[in-house]
Structure 1
């Protein structure tokens, strides 16, 4: 039995139109679905939204949906900030970040996929194959074309089919859904019609052949109703705007012609535009089906590639003072390796305050009905399209008409936090908190795409940031303190006889490493790039001093007391430890520039240096919200999570940064540090050994990897593979700049650990079958003792102080095995 329509003034009932899609057989509206997935009554105040849904049902239409009030809290509360104690207090302390359209330079990108993704090809089909055999507008999509009305028209009554032409019973306005052109008609003496391609928001769209220009295929776009002034104005506006636009991602307009309708005697206008063969994003999405027949969302990397191309096109329109207003899956076509915007009927000038606004419910920003479209509302539509493409977005036209589902319930959000944050910012209820430009959003979306591809392939996808410089240094590249003697002296056995039992390892097999200095880690984070428009930019770029005291003195000679100068001076104060002066300077900057993202970043640095780790985490979290494609905020959040004791979160952030960009070597050391603390020795070694040879930190990472293999090991463990690998690393490190003294120190650790292993007396403490040689020494007690003696004597010769030399010679004598000479 069919469900009764929810609308009190509609006698219809819902019918399945295929694919599980329900629509009323009278008003044509879809039912409102609750968050639980059940059909529910429309919530209070949804009358305007219902009217908007009518327009949505037939494509682009005038917006009449009221904006719904919503919270404008900026932070999306990532896994770190959500876990901070005092949830309400933490949320109230979250900071807001706004960006300027002048603060980000556009980055060059190549063809569809940004050089990062191999997109499924979409060949250009035979245009004739796209012609509809029986062009007809379904009854559920027939509505009055007057923007003030929008009532359903042309509906069937009992056994009587709905009329395709007539007058609206509500307002009396005429309507017609009959194609005005037929195959064989010649328009303007030049364009021979082949048939109908589709029915859009402004009427039928026809395929035609241009007989005057090499028989090229073109598209003729006509009006929905020549008697409707709004529709006519849209068509005329489209002609004016699109004649000015030339962009590879936007359909080209060739001509605007008129044709006399022999049947009605009316003179109809048609736009002649480029024929774009291929598939719309809607078709591409709908073709993906699971074995059960449900829609299979697009891979997130494919959707991101589409979004980047769309933003390129929108950015071009914005540069020409134009707004697109109605981006959605229907209005973009992939042809070969290119995406094109095809429906420009809603395009309007930014300063237009009089013409009708066209958009689609579920895609359109909530403020458009009250304040009109803007650059921010255009970017909103791109984010909504990405959401529709990447997961089964049930209820996006009603329940979630201006919000996103809980990320914990959406797989793609849970797996790709940066992608979720990008959508959250682009759809913020406050337009001022969205991305400032299409270029900025495209840059961040490209960064997110790099991250997604790196996660999926395991291959880094680094890129220069337009916002941050490289990390200033790598702190804690020595994970472990230097040992003055080999582990065997400190552990299981003394030089000649049984010694104390080995010290117990920390619970869970964790390894004690050098503690992280949060202040040093904060000052080693990447520095925001200076604004090139700042009056001191040239002066600051020319500074060659690096020591904080000298830099602070040099800054006094700056010609103007600009923001960039004050930020540089503030950082120098932090580095000099002048925390009182730095705190006052930061407070002044926050009062004068409350929403400059760099001030928020420096608040995080200051909080890390002074020990207020929760505030630091919230500050960096806000920067991550603003710039989800940047590695720097994630690296900073990794540091915060580590000092807060959240090792799992720290590992996730460090791994995310290191997987994407191996230029951030601090992330590799940080990942190794927290994995060791959590007992994952193999993971820590893998992180350290993944530092590439081209890095200046390669040697330090390999030294740390050797120690990660050996420190804190129980002699009874099976160590053969680790000892062999560690010895091999020590031998190879001489070719990478490891000085002789450090090489011999490392050798004593390898040989000392091996000696403990041999002397442990347990089943695992023996080399086993086969000969094992470590650094030129046989892996038995006698050979290892000789090896240790040799290393300590080499260290003694290299020692600079007499006392140190004596200690090293005594250590060599202790390890020397008994001999007759």
Structure 2
């Protein structure tokens, strides 16, 4: 009895069938380790060159850690298809030399062939019979007895590409003629390539010994480029689609080795919902199996490949393809990210700098999923701006949640201690501490989230995880020295973003936001699609007093996802200090739509309307601000003590234009019953008494003047 098909044994799948290449047709992963075949022994690798240790690429199992690095595709409208040509333009290039034969009916000898390193003549006369030939374009050329060539659509280092009509299938196909050096690799991989099935990979239909040729489906499009009307997020989404294709290839041990715009065809695909803008990766003439082939890369395009001194050339990994895609996005998006102030533009620049770093191969992306996650994060920042204005809240794959809103006092009533210690001047203006504060550096260090393990670097696991957890606990205890010792014990590479994050937290715990900002900037450069480094940099800038920088970072986070509430509260603080009260209130009201922060944000919106800042140049609240704050007060979910404090703050703002000392005194006196001690109660009553208006009655005739009673009548009654 034959053995039936194997079923995927992974607990999160359990329903797929393992194909002939060893991958599940549902979850696209290999079986678990206990059911996987033993790997073939490999020859020992030569000693690596001195320098940082080589990065280890991710395995297919990383999908469990990064469940959806492609989420950026869901943020872009796939139906925005700019107008483009239906067929690719005819590329310059003659018929391949292997197909140049004398057109004479009784001759047929090979002509136009190169020798001594010189290419053959494209046109001329047959040396055997004298018949004229011209191979600038094919004319009547048939390959393998079934493919009628109609035109040349490409020519390069790997060979010519022909558009041909397949007589057997009655459809157009592409024949990729391969040079002999490339064909050896293609023969090794042809059985695997024929089995590839992915929406963003051109279908490889077969392999013809004649030539030899790869037979591919014909995609009627044009090489990837920026068209008129393209938005930046549309081009970046195509990058995510190519990364999906590369992830599919890399999981099967294959490298494309020639990722570039010419090998990414952009085409229009009709669907029941309308035309879709799609791309497909083509030209597998340089494909190789990086788990088996140990030699250097031979066929590649220099402009899109790592420098020739790069270790990727000697021992290629998926990083070779990822570098090519980074260079591709540089070229394609060049005209769309010239304005560094545009949302997401600076993050895109940092992303491509990391993807194509020419001097630090260990710093570049090591997996398509790692690249795609950061690229999707950049797309999220781009679409948050007009005209899309799409805000997306989703958990980070690298950072935990922020447990506290860090509102700095905005989300609660002014502390009772402020009123107890207030000093009233002769004009009844109060000297009190500021209505809010920036979060203290130690508080920020304890609240900023702990990073999760890096799934793309297996060294950041095990004992390192334990040391980092102990460092984190020390930070929560505000023990910076112990946190630094535990971080050193983790033994992490200095260039990695993870120790940089912890060094930034330790610097904050030591009270140095300047040093912390340096470390967090390095983290942001490594993770440009993440929002948490933006938040950290915003907090550091606010602590340094650099409100412009703080406002930029806070704005990026808040515009992208208000659900990260600490950025919204921070933005409201700096806006109010910059004299933009209305915008600060608007931020708080937007933040109130997030269920987690609704209570604090609604309180903040009321307080922001009526806060009185002692610094010169800050306009006082308007009558409309005070009136609207009073209208919102009854709907707040606060206890009576907080409500009394909010009423006092509103009344103080109203006093600035009514000068009604009696009402202000009454509001302060109402705080008394909520005082926790008799001393504080007495202080509040004394303050209320000092705020009362001075008595205006007097005795008749005293000092030669007549006083008025509190009723307003002249004393002395009749006859006065």
Per the normalisation by structure 2, the TM-score is: 0.73
Q: How far off is 1:594 after superposition?
A: 4.2
Deviates more, 1:443-452 or 1:106-115: 106-115
Indicate the residue corresponding to 1:205 in structure 2. 161
1:465 to 381, 396, 406: 396
Unmatched 5+ stretches in structure 2: 1-50, 99-109, 124-133, 270-276, 696-709, 713-720
Indicate the residue corresponding to 1:247 in structure 2. 198
Matched, 1:220 2:160: no
Deviates more, 1:381-390 or 1:675-684: 675-684
Indicate the residue corresponding to 2:68 in structure 1. 108
Paired with 2:67 and 2:380, the residues of 1 have a C-alpha distance of 14
Q: Is the 8 A contact 1:655 1:667 kept in 2?
A: yes
Paired with 2:593 and 2:150, the residues of 1 have a C-alpha distance of 63
Matched, 1:671 2:571: yes
Q: Is the 8 A contact 1:448 1:628 kept in 2?
A: yes
Indicate the residue corresponding to 1:381 in structure 2. 324
Q: Is the 8 A contact 1:253 1:273 kept in 2?
A: yes
Indicate the residue corresponding to 1:482 in structure 2. 415
Paired with 1:574 and 1:512, the residues of 2 have a C-alpha distance of 28
Indicate the residue corresponding to 1:521 in structure 2. 444
Q: Is the 8 A contact 1:421 1:625 kept in 2?
A: yes
Paired with 1:486 and 1:364, the residues of 2 have a C-alpha distance of 67
Relative distance call for 1:115 and 1:533 in structure 2 (3 A) is closer
Query: Number of paired residues?
Result: 604
RMSD: 4.3
Q: How far off is 1:616 after superposition?
A: 1.7
Cα shift readout 1:684-739 (whole Å, capped 9, x = no counterpart)? 33332321333333222232333333322799957122212322332332xxx222
Relative distance call for 1:756 and 1:484 in structure 2 (3 A) is farther
Deviates more, 1:378-387 or 1:618-627: 618-627
Paired with 2:524 and 2:584, the residues of 1 have a C-alpha distance of 26
Matched, 1:728 2:631: yes
Unmatched 5+ stretches in structure 1: 1-71, 74-95, 146-163, 259-266, 289-295, 394-406, 493-497, 506-510, 538-559, 760-780
Matched, 1:611 2:611: no
Q: Is the 8 A contact 1:98 1:597 kept in 2?
A: no
Q: How far off is 1:392 after superposition?
A: 4.9
1:464-613 aligned at under 5 Å gives the runs 464-479=395-410, 481-482=414-415, 499=427, 513-530=436-453, 562-590=463-491, 594-613=494-513
Relative distance call for 1:207 and 1:667 in structure 2 (3 A) is same
Indicate the residue corresponding to 1:403 in structure 2. none
Bigger RCO of structures 1 and 2 (CA < 8 A, at least 6 apart)? 1
Paired with 1:99 and 1:609, the residues of 2 have a C-alpha distance of 33
Paired with 2:538 and 2:564, the residues of 1 have a C-alpha distance of 12
1:307-346 aligned at under 5 Å gives the runs 307-335=239-267, 336=269, 337-346=277-286
Q: Is the 8 A contact 1:97 1:596 kept in 2?
A: no
Q: Is the 8 A contact 1:192 1:209 kept in 2?
A: yes
Relative distance call for 1:720 and 1:143 in structure 2 (3 A) is farther
Matched, 1:371 2:314: yes
Cα shift readout 1:210-257 (whole Å, capped 9, x = no counterpart)? 4444x333222234xxxx532543554563552242222111111223
> Aligned to 1:340, what secondary structure does the other structure show?
strand
1:360 to 286, 290, 301: 301
Paired with 1:562 and 1:702, the residues of 2 have a C-alpha distance of 44
Higher-Rg member (1/2): 2
Indicate the residue corresponding to 1:301 in structure 2. 233
Q: Is the 8 A contact 2:173 2:217 kept in 1?
A: yes
Matched, 1:171 2:103: no
Deviates more, 1:247-256 or 1:343-352: 343-352
Indicate the residue corresponding to 1:49 in structure 2. none
Matched, 1:649 2:552: no
Matched, 1:741 2:641: yes
